[in-house]
Structure 1
Amino acid sequence: MLTISFTSVDLMKTRLASAPDPMWELTLSLHRLRSPGPQIFQEWRRSTLSRLQHPSGMQSLQLLLELVPVTGYFPDFLTPAEAEQGFEAGVQAILSTPVQRLGADMEILAQQRKLPAWAGQLARGEPELLERLGLALRDYHAAAIAPFQTEIRASVHIDRSRRARSLTTGGYEQMLAGMRPALRWTDSAIEADYPHRHVCELDGRGLVMVPSFFCWGRPIALKNTELPPVLVFPIEGDARYLALGKAIRENASSRSLAALLGKTRAAVLETIADGCTTGEIARRLDVSLATASEHATVLRRAGLVVSVRDGNSMLHALTPVATALLDSSAQGLPAM
């Protein structure tokens, strides 16, 4: 059983991550690579293995598979909080992990399974092994995550938008009720089925709830409860199908909107549909802040977006004209 205990302060600090976490997606995708689960992952698995069919790709994959077993614990240092700022920020955080943490995490992994000889070098933070790890992460990301980046982001965005609406209309009680049976709210605590008993007292730190494309079956949390608390949970199945399904990928109305506005600008417009900041556009679409701002500005000048200052951020929302444009595109009608 997993139990995450809240105080009233924790509820005030709890939030939904604004985009998929690249390091959680990477590590959890290694589970799907060996145990794909539903049909929706089959095409991803086939194309990923095909891209890795070269010596360096297979070496990178083997290194990561040793660190992330098919079940059970994998090192907390592989999913640093800094990855919320992007994949490369996550890689740099992993490679900068203090030696004490590397050793502690690798010791836990060694208690679970027999490790190769190089694991001791990694536990000691030897530069050669850290360099190999960085290369393996980048190789695997290029093969398994980057080609599906748009679909992964879209799936998570669909699920996150649903959760956010539930939170707005009914608070955390309604949002968590929609996550049953994976998550349950009981006596000021989130509970979930788990392979072992794991208790995390938030103690005023709040919680980041991360919807994940590759998470499957049950949620997952960091073993080290002293780290910033995170709860990664699986998105609803239909969100994956909506984003990855062949009918959606080949939908003519989506191509029509892209033809009208350009692929990136159409994606920006769809991203703004639920209201978001310039930074959230950049993270969700994996573009620079300057690029996100430029596209939002063009859409605003065209009368499709309104923008207001919200503290240090610029918050964007659709105008009625843009909403009608998206609705007509979704229905397969000629674009306005």
Structure 2
Amino acid sequence: MLRIHFTVADAMKVRVVVLGPLAELQLSLHRLQRPGHPSWFDSWRAPTVAGVRALSPDVADLARYLAPAAGLVDLFTLVGPADEHTEAVDRLCRAPAGPLRHEFGFAPEVAGVPAGWIGDFAHGDRAARERLTSALDEYHALAIRPYWQRIRAVLDNERATRVDVMATHGLDAMLAGMAPTLHWRAPVLEVPGYLGVNRQGAGTVTDVHLRGRGLVLAPSLFSNADPGLFTPWNDEPAVLLYPVSLDPRAAMRLWHRPGETGERALAGLLGGTRAAALRVIAGGCTTSELAQRIGISPGGASQHATVLREAGLVVSHRHRNTVRHTLTDLGLGLLDGA
């Protein structure tokens, strides 16, 4: 178990943040190499494993190095939240040399994974940088990009839910509502099942004191209870990854790839943009979030949401100065059939 100790200053610095596609990419490498529960990941894993075989051998090296059995190389605090894959990779390439070498020394020193050409990246080798960025791009195109719009909708909805609870009922209510993933016993946040980088046995307790730096809670689709906590090299808040809980039926909809038969049929029925809107709303979103995710104006997003609502596929609720949209059972059923 991991126990995170808060001070009053830490409680005032709690945020909920979506880290972005590079974080999910790295966590998915962990899932790719270690099949397990929940079973709905199998519909993502099987085609991804098959697809990786056709990619550059550098991608397999990347998986072993960035997601070894003993934990993860900490890219999250080097890169920070980044909405776009290219932005995150660019930040990684421009990370300060000292912290970069420290983090990239994790796999050889702790997990026993040979550094090879990937280790050269941390020392500024241009050829290694080109190989690393190319491997990240290849894997992203296969495993993350086809599903990212839906994954992002799920993560944004989780973030919005937690932020709304915190704003309305306070930090205690927000953290208490995250059980069973996390247990809040003020002023301590417990992470059950945490093993840490040394894979300590059952019953081992790791205590971490934030000492005023605060905490970023980062929901993740591909994460599980471990690896857990990441501490930045500077004085920025610590980052705690936690898994998003999904209904299995909703989870299966994540893995429909654009162009598949059901996707084309849905677009033929509703129109391409409106079908995309329905898929985004499945994760819950505001009008502005809908506009951003499908690349249209807020006015256009509002119009599409209105048509879907009048058709009985969407229900909308106003909260303060925003309108949040979710699917009705009829809307869910339509997506399930796609």
- Superposition TM-score, scaled by structure 2 size: 0.74
Question: After superposition, where does 1:235-250 map in structure 2 within 5 Å?
Answer: 235-238=244-247, 241-245=249-253
Whether the 8 Å contact between 2:71 and 2:227 is mirrored in structure 1 is no
Q: 2:92 aligns with which of 91, 94, 98?
A: 94
Residues 170, 94 of structure 1: alpha-carbon distance in 2 compared, 3 angstrom cutoff: same
Percent identity, aligned pairs only, is: 28
The reply to whether residue 298 of structure 1 matches residue 300 of structure 2 is yes
**Equivalence for 1:186:** 185
Distance 1:241 1:79 in 2: 33
Q: Which amino acid aligns with 2:7?
A: T
Q: 1:210 aligns with which of 210, 214, 218?
A: 218
**Equivalence for 2:323:** 317
Distance 2:279 2:91 in 1: 29
Distance 2:99 2:90 in 1: 15
Residues 163, 302 of structure 1: alpha-carbon distance in 2 compared, 3 angstrom cutoff: closer
Q: Helix, strand or coil: the match of 2:180?
A: coil
Whether the 8 Å contact between 2:15 and 2:217 is mirrored in structure 1 is yes
Distance 2:253 2:304 in 1: 32
Any gaps of 5 or more consecutive residues in structure 1? none
Distance 1:192 1:264 in 2: 36
Residues 136, 332 of structure 1: alpha-carbon distance in 2 compared, 3 angstrom cutoff: closer
CA-to-aligned-CA distance 1:131-188 (integer Å, 9 cap, x gap): 1111111111111111222332343345445434543553222222232232122332
Whether the 8 Å contact between 2:26 and 2:67 is mirrored in structure 1 is no
Whether the 8 Å contact between 2:19 and 2:80 is mirrored in structure 1 is no
Residues 228, 10 of structure 1: alpha-carbon distance in 2 compared, 3 angstrom cutoff: closer
Any gaps of 5 or more consecutive residues in structure 2? 197-205, 310-315
Q: CA deviation at 1:33?
A: 0.6
Residues 267, 104 of structure 1: alpha-carbon distance in 2 compared, 3 angstrom cutoff: same
**Equivalence for 1:22:** 21
The reply to whether residue 152 of structure 1 matches residue 168 of structure 2 is no
Q: Which amino acid aligns with 1:262?
A: R
CA-to-aligned-CA distance 1:98-156 (integer Å, 9 cap, x gap): 22122212333221214143244223121111111111111111111112223323433
CA-to-aligned-CA distance 1:47-77 (integer Å, 9 cap, x gap): 11222232xx241322212322443233223
Distance 1:108 1:70 in 2: 10
Distance 1:103 1:70 in 2: 17
Distance 2:131 2:182 in 1: 37
Q: CA deviation at 1:331?
A: 7.1
The reply to whether residue 135 of structure 1 matches residue 147 of structure 2 is no
Q: CA deviation at 1:79?
A: 5.5
**Equivalence for 1:44:** 44
Distance 2:322 2:10 in 1: 28
Distance 1:94 1:246 in 2: 28
Whether the 8 Å contact between 2:151 and 2:254 is mirrored in structure 1 is no
Distance 1:72 1:108 in 2: 10
Q: Helix, strand or coil: the match of 1:182?
A: coil
Distance 1:48 1:248 in 2: 13
Distance 1:269 1:43 in 2: 22
What is the RMSD of the two structures over their aligned residues, measured on CA atoms? 3.8
Q: Helix, strand or coil: the match of 1:103?
A: helix
- Superposition TM-score, scaled by structure 1 size: 0.75
